[in-house]
Amino acid sequence: MKDPLKVFTGTANPELAAAVCKDLDIPLGRAQTSTFSNDNLFVQIEENVRERDCFVIQPLRTSANIVELLLMLDALRSASAKRISAVIPYYSYARSDKKDMPRISIAARLIADLLVTAGANRILTMTLHSDQVQGFFSVPCDHLAPTPLFCQYFQQWDLTNFTVLAPDAGSAKRAGSFASRLNLPLGFVDKRRVSDTRVEVRSVVGEVKGKHVIIFDDEIAAAGSLAENVKALQAFGAADIYAGATHGVLSGPASERIMELPVKQVVVTDTLAIPPAKRIPKLSVLSVAPLFAEAIKRIHTGESVSEMFE
């Protein structure tokens, strides 16, 4: 790499940042985040970054994660960093990408604007809920996909009599790429979202009777959608059921629901830190550190990121 780059991390997923730096063979940048008694955050970059190419790794799971990232970007800008890239493995509020109800905020666009205002010169993220969110940024945005990781994992299996299922029509393109790489048929679920935690399944499009099914989604939050999809697959005569998703949000009762579901295995990545209490026996976690390390190296050296997936 032409000039030493700097990689920093917030407090949301320092394990992932450490793994990325290990793959890059560089030390993790020194930074400090602390909280005042009034819950305000304090961020300080603890090394020289003048005219350096800096990357900040921070998934946006909570509002505090967002504020911390904004402060880190602003601190790097004030310290005269040459270029600042916000590496956001999980971009929260990505579901809020349109005005589908009266008098609501398009939060995905708002967060994008805040990141650029705080000092981000470019964005690196993974599996946005809607591809159109990539266009909300007024700076370059590289959008990674973990599909090669999932394919490498599932290719170790005997995939005879398997099919891939998109959890809704909007996910068909993402699941289709996964199915195409594995040379498997694709189906999708016709469903309607009733609320944040409840969906209604109308039908399953595609042949699933007697088939082993892999449900491929962008994230598993409370696992309500997964539960409804599994119920529908059982009604349509599916055999063994598996699930794969980029982001293991696993909020609320997700872990308990998954343990109760007739699902053989759920595979997610480490874009979000998964606490030990939620690492249930059915859960397998793939590391995205090699993908992010390679993308960061390519951005730093001016190489193509899209070629990683060709």
For residue 106, the number of C-alpha atoms closer than 13 Å in the C-beta half-sphere is 11
**Which residues make Cβ contacts (< 8 Å) with residue 201, sequence separation at least 6?**
189, 190, 191, 228, 229, 231, 232
Phi, psi of 25 (to 5 degrees): 60, 45
CA–chain centroid gap for 40, Å, is: 27
Closest by CA position to 23, among listed 51, 50, 47, 55 = 55
Q: Which of 191, 278, 282, 297 is catalytic?
A: 191
Q: Which residue's structure tokens are 């990689």? A: 7
Structure tokens at 69: 């990232």
Angle at which helix 63-78 crosses helix 107-118, to 10 degrees, equals 30
* 82 is a catalytic site residue: no
Give the catalytic positions in this structure.
191
